[in-house]
């Protein structure tokens, strides 16, 4: 009897396998009908199902569908949606064109909409967060988040012009964070104009790679400078300063002692939070080597160790620990940070990369939670030689201001992960730069020559400004630079003798105004130099800084003869100022910034620059000029 039961079971299983629908994989590429460029982030869905994916940075996609086929729907904000019957095809390439009517109808923010209209809007565009080759769906919580926004951003007062006779020095800490760019991209994909304080122009500029020369000497940096006309005001000059960190091959990087500090509180339950977080960390785990070690600490109402320090070769064990995480409870962020630093200290690798990687939406509500309290907590830990990376996730209740403070005060960097493609960029493509510091407390000080410069202003870096005396003070904290990372800074300069609407002093009423005359200097006083770049850094385990000096002479190069690096950074800065409604670009349009960016796209191997160009093209949806 037992024999017949086994045979019957085998036959039943076989018959189930026979009738089960087979799957096949559809692949293809989505491009722009305007110029044939690849379109990343386009939704590709099987109509009538929850199956879907998004195109990668090169516009490619893969999607498993039933063998019977169906209809693929291609959609993206500001583009005409297209439906294509699969039939017998296994590859479907498609071009999408702009939908002017859709762009003109999109409301700037979610406020004032009824929930039904928000649901329809989100169904069309939020799904760009879906992971490739997986199904996706939208939840009422995401709709509530878009409807009731409690996100927090640190206030920014845009830098103005300074008189080099009174303020000859401009001093600031470098910033290699890239969170602002991916965050404002998220807003624009949602058809919303980003909050002005979410736009940090230095983070937009530094999101992109630049073709700077690798350092050749004993210093782990090269310095590049360039000057030409400012695109938005041809009477003004634009100074481009680029720092390039030495690129260290992955096999030569020091061993890592990592602690994943993961927020598993109730606010992390959304699809674009903990599920995306898990997928992102899996990408990172695949990069680890046998000599690297990982521990996992989680926090909700309390903090706990869910994985003791484990070799990077035991990837299965690390991934299983990630898979088992679930969201629920309040958010004791301070307790989690303490435990993570304790675990990192217990497993400290001398001469290695000791780092806590905090992944959260920043919504701490138990224990230390204010920005000041969190800042003091992190500052008390950074002297242990442990660096901090913060990864931000989610929307609606996102606390950008807290995430930025934690990274700044913890000798670290900060990224916002809005999709699995962004996780790929930050944790795989830029693995060394994100996780391996080659220099700390990196500061720049620019001295302007008043014989050449009437006034100047730094574009961005408002939250990174330092006092002049801080430059030579080795006890003053500043930014960190990772392997292969570059840093770019731009100054807008009004040359001596140029009349400008941004002149600093109005004409006097009761006495003659003193006309600024060129400062009389001799050739031995470096009269040909417009400025000098001074640069200080410390080794990752050092306490004493080293100084590098680099002067700049204005060679009167026309804008169209400058490098792609120069024009690209200028286009990104211009768009950032437009987003901030800056007074300094009132007569410059998004279309002009697009033209400038298109002229400077260069090789763009990963497709990040064409993505930015397409992002600017979609901005009529958010009432841009």
Residues 14-63 have pLDDT tens digits of 444 444 457 888 999 999 887 788 888 788 889 888 788 888 767 888 88
pTM for the whole structure: 0.76
pLDDT band, very low/low/confident/very high, at 624 (cuts 50, 70, 90): low
pLDDT at residue 143 tops 50 = no
Give me the half-sphere count of Cα atoms (radius 13 Å) on the Cβ side of residue 342.
Answer: 11
Could you tell me if 361 and 367 are in contact, meaning their C-beta atoms sit under 8 angstroms apart?
Answer: no
Residue bearing the bigger pLDDT, 243 or 435: 243
pLDDT (average), residues 148-158: 85
C-alpha span between 475 and 471 (Å, rounded)? 10
Residue bearing the bigger pLDDT, 212 or 335: 212
What pLDDT, on the 0 to 100 scale, is given for residue 576? 97
pLDDT band, very low/low/confident/very high, at 131 (cuts 50, 70, 90): very low
For tokens 């996100």, the residue is: 151
pLDDT (average), residues 531-540: 95
Pick from 142-151, 165-174, 304-313, 591-600: least confident: 142-151
pLDDT in tens, 494-521: 999 999 888 766 656 676 655 555 555 4
What pLDDT, on the 0 to 100 scale, is given for residue 367? 52
What pLDDT, on the 0 to 100 scale, is given for residue 623? 53
Give me the half-sphere count of Cα atoms (radius 13 Å) on the Cβ side of residue 300.
Answer: 13
pLDDT (average), residues 155-177: 94
Please spell the DSSP secondary structure of 57-106, one letter per residue: TTSEEEEEEETT--EEEEE-TTB--EEEE-TT-SB--EEE-B-HHHHHH-
pLDDT (average), residues 202-230: 94
What pLDDT, on the 0 to 100 scale, is given for residue 433? 85
pLDDT at residue 366 tops 50 = no
For 168, other C-beta atoms within 10 Å of its C-beta total 17
For the chain, give the number of residues.
625
pLDDT band, very low/low/confident/very high, at 3 (cuts 50, 70, 90): low
Q: Which domains does the chain have, with CATH numbers?
A: 24-147 (2.60.40.1120), 169-248+438-504+521-567 (2.60.40.1230), 254-415 (3.40.50.410)
What pLDDT, on the 0 to 100 scale, is given for residue 146? 42
Phi, psi of 518 (to 5 degrees): -55, 135
What pLDDT, on the 0 to 100 scale, is given for residue 514? 53
Could you tell me if 507 and 516 are in contact, meaning their C-beta atoms sit under 8 angstroms apart?
Answer: no
Phi, psi of 167 (to 5 degrees): -130, 75
C-alpha span between 41 and 126 (Å, rounded)? 10
Q: Taking CA 234 as the corner, what is the angle to CA 597 and CA 608, rounded to the nearest 5 degrees?
A: 15
pLDDT band, very low/low/confident/very high, at 142 (cuts 50, 70, 90): very low
What pLDDT, on the 0 to 100 scale, is given for residue 194? 92
Pick from 150-154, 361-365, 472-476: least confident: 361-365
pLDDT band, very low/low/confident/very high, at 272 (cuts 50, 70, 90): confident
pLDDT (average), residues 460-489: 94
Mean pLDDT of the chain: 83
pLDDT band, very low/low/confident/very high, at 410 (cuts 50, 70, 90): confident
Which letter does DSSP use for residue 429 in this model? I
pLDDT in tens, 284-298: 999 999 999 999 999
What pLDDT, on the 0 to 100 scale, is given for residue 117? 34
pLDDT at residue 491 tops 60 = yes
Pick from 97-111, 207-221, 251-265, 413-427: least confident: 97-111
Cα dihedral angle (508, 510, 516, 520), rounded to 10 degrees?
-160
Residue bearing the bigger pLDDT, 201 or 115: 201
Pick from 358-372, 400-414, 474-488: least confident: 358-372
């Amino acid at each position: 009897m037992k024999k017949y039961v086994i045979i019957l079971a085998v036959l039943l299983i076989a018959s189930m396998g026979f009738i089960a629908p087979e799957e096949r994989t559809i692949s293809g590429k989505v491009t722009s009908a305007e110029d044939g460029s690849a379109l990343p982030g386009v939704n590709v869905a099987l109509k009538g199902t929850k199956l879907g994916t998004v195109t990668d940075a090169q516009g490619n996609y893969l999607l498993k569908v039933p063998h019977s086929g169906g209809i693929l729907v291609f959609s993206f904000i500001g583009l005409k949606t297209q439906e294509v019957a699969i039939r017998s095809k296994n590859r479907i390439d498609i071009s999408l064109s702009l939908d002017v009517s859709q762009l003109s109808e999109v409301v700037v923010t979610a406020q004032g909409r009824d929930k039904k209209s928000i649901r329809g809007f989100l169904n069309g565009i939020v799904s760009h967060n879906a992971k490739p080759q997986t199904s996706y769906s939208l939840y009422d919580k995401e709709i509530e988040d878009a409807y009731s926004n409690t996100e927090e951003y640190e206030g920014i007062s845009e830098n103005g012009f300074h008189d080099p006779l009174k303020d000859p020095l401009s001093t600031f800490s470098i910033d290699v964070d890239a969170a602002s760019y991916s965050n404002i991209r998220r807003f624009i994909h949602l058809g919303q104009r980003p909050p002005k304080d979410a736009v940090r122009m230095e983070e937009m500029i530094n999101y992109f790679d630049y073709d700077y020369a690798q350092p050749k000497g004993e210093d782990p940096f090269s310095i590049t400078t360039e000057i030409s006309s400012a695109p938005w005001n041809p009477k003004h000059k634009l100074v481009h300063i680029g720092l390039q960190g030495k690129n260290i091959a992955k096999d030569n990087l020091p061993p890592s002692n990592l602690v994943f500090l993961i927020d598993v509180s109730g606010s992390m339950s959304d699809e674009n939070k903990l599920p995306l977080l898990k997928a992102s960390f899996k990408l990172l785990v695949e990069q680890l080597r046998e000599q690297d070690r990982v521990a996992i600490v989680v926090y909700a109402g309390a903090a706990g160790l869910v994985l003791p320090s484990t070799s990077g070769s035991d990837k299965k064990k690390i991934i299983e620990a990630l898979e088992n995480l679930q969201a629920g409870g309040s958010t004791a962020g301070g307790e989690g940070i303490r435990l993570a630093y304790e675990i990192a200290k217990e497993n400290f690798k001398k001469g290695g990369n000791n780092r806590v990687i905090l992944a959260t939406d920043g919504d701490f509500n138990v224990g230390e939670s204010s920005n000041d309290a969190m800042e003091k907590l992190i500052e008390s830990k950074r002297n242990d030689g442990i660096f901090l990376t913060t990864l931000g996730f989610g929307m609606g209740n996102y606390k950008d201001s807290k995430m930025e403070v934690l990274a700044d005060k913890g000798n670290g960097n900060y990224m916002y992960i809005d999709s699995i493609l962004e996780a790929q960029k930050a944790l795989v493509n830029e693995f060394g730069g994100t996780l391996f510091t080659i220099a700390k407390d990196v500061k720049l000080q620019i001295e302007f020559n008043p014989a050449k410069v009437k006034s100047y202003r730094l574009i961005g870096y408002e939250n990174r400004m330092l006092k002049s005396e801080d430059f030579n003070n080795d006890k003053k904290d500043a930014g960190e630079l990772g392997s292969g990372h570059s840093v770019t800074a731009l100054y807008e300069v009004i040359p001596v003798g140029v009349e400008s609407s941004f002149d600093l002093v109005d004409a006097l009423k009761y006495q003659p105004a003193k006309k600024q005359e060129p400062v009389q200097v001799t050739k031995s006083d470096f009269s040909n130099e417009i400025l000098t770049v001074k640069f200080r850094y410390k080794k990752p385990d050092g306490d004493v800084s080293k100084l590098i000096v680099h002067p700049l002479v204005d060679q009167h190069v026309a804008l169209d003869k400058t490098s792609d690096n120069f024009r690209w950074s200028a286009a990104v800065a211009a768009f950032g100022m437009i987003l901030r409604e800056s007074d300094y670009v009132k007569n410059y349009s998004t279309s002009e910034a697009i033209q400038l960016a298109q002229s400077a796209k260069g090789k763009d191997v990963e497709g990040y620059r064409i993505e930015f160009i397409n992002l600017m093209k979609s901005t009529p949806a958010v009432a841009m000029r």
